Amino acid sequence: MEPVTGQDTRGTLPEGLPEGLAEAIRTTAEEIAGLLRHAPGTGARVPGLEWTVGEVAAHLAQANVLMAEVAAGRTHSYGDGTPQGIAAANEQALAAFGERAAEPLAEMIVTQAAAYLDAVAGRPADETLMTPMGPMNRAVLGSYLLTHMLGHGVDLARALKRPHMVDRARVALALPFMIEAMPRVTDAATTAGLNARYAVRLWGGGHFGVTFTDGAASVGHELPDRPDCTISIEPVTFLLMALGRCAPVGAMARGRVLAWGRKPWIGPRFPAYFKAP
């Protein structure tokens, strides 16, 4: 997989992207690069993962190349769209890519985030493309790129004992991808036969609805009529929980997640219905 090259888009805002997304992509890539450049090494194990710091950074660099190539209109086969298939493809790609040093990986992460923005600047943002998580347009692909960097940015920050970069503004920009991806990461074993309607509200703004019909999930920006359960959640907690970086029980115990409605008892079950890649 060859890195994508293009013009420097640092001073431009690609048309069609949600306000703030281009800058969030640039800033997040640069903050991850900063973590790597100040790391004492890349051999430390990342808490909760089998990968080292160097392996997480290598995966991020490879993923940014892939996102930039997809945005440029190049088709790639990468897994089968399921969490298990994507995980297997990740391991295969990582095994074929030997770089683990901080500086070249940091540079690659930043350069390829910029290459995505360059690709979007020259092409329709609403054109549908095939991605590892199914069809989506370039704007949602940008949300995917940001979300992916944020998740692994948290991993690196924890491994290096530094603050992570997830904040409310970036969670709002990650939300379009989360809504698009949730039906694809539904855990059929836990939702079998389930019929339920959830309204999910993020503190300070942002919401979406999830309706399960005989176990199949439908997710959209609109809230369902007469939801069985309304979940109110602090935004950073939402993203960390959705990406498997925060335990639901701890978040609920700290009062960062609240549930009410006709069936409030189904609120705590909600996170188990999804399985992040």
Write down the pLDDT at residue 154: 98
Dihedral pair phi/psi, residue 259, rounded to 5° = -140, 140
Paired with 45 in beta bridges are 52
Write down the pLDDT at residue 11: 46
In the predicted model, is pLDDT for residue 266 greater than 60?
yes
How many whole angstroms separate alpha carbon 269 and alpha carbon 242? 13
Write down the pLDDT at residue 66: 95
C-beta of residue 113 within 8 angstroms of C-beta of residue 64: yes
In the predicted model, is pLDDT for residue 220 greater than 50?
yes
Residue 259 in 3-state DSSP? Answer: strand
How many whole angstroms separate alpha carbon 40 and alpha carbon 86? 30
**Token output for 198:** 């959830």
How many whole angstroms separate alpha carbon 251 and alpha carbon 147? 20
- Residue 277 — very low, low, confident or very high, per pLDDT cuts 50/70/90? confident
Write down the pLDDT at residue 260: 97
Angle between helices 102-121 and 21-37 (to 10 degrees): 170
In the predicted model, is pLDDT for residue 12 greater than 60?
no
**What is the per-residue pLDDT across 13-29, written as a single tens digit (0 to 9) for each?**
567 799 999 999 999 99
How many whole angstroms separate alpha carbon 52 and alpha carbon 54? 5
C-beta of residue 219 within 8 angstroms of C-beta of residue 210: yes
Write down the pLDDT at residue 198: 98
Instruction: Decide the pairing of beta strands 216-220 and 229-233.
Output: unpaired
Q: Which amino acid is at 91?
A: E
How many whole angstroms separate alpha carbon 125 and alpha carbon 58? 27
Burial of 161 (0-12, 13-18, 19+ CB in 10 A): exposed
**What is the per-residue pLDDT across 30-58, written as a single tens digit (0 to 9) for each?**
999 999 999 999 999 999 999 999 999 99
- pLDDT exceeding 90 applies to what percent of the chain? 80
- Tell me what the pLDDT averaged over the chain comes to: 92
CB atoms within 10 A of CB 208: 20
Domains of the chain: 21-181 (1.20.120.450), 186-273 (3.30.1050.10)
Alpha-carbon Rg for the chain in angstroms? 18
**What is the per-residue pLDDT across 170-200, written as a single tens digit (0 to 9) for each?**
999 999 999 999 999 999 999 999 999 999 9
Burial per residue of 255-270, b for 16 or more beta-carbon CB atoms within 10 angstroms, e otherwise:
ebbebebeeeebbebb
In the predicted model, is pLDDT for residue 7 greater than 50?
no
Alpha helices (runs of H) in 193-264, residue ranges in sequence order? 235-242, 248-253
Write down the pLDDT at residue 225: 93
pTM listed for this prediction? 0.92
**What is the per-residue pLDDT across 69-105, written as a single tens digit (0 to 9) for each?**
999 998 877 777 777 888 898 899 999 999 999 999 9
Paired with 202 in beta bridges are 233
- The residue with greater pLDDT, 217 or 276, is 217
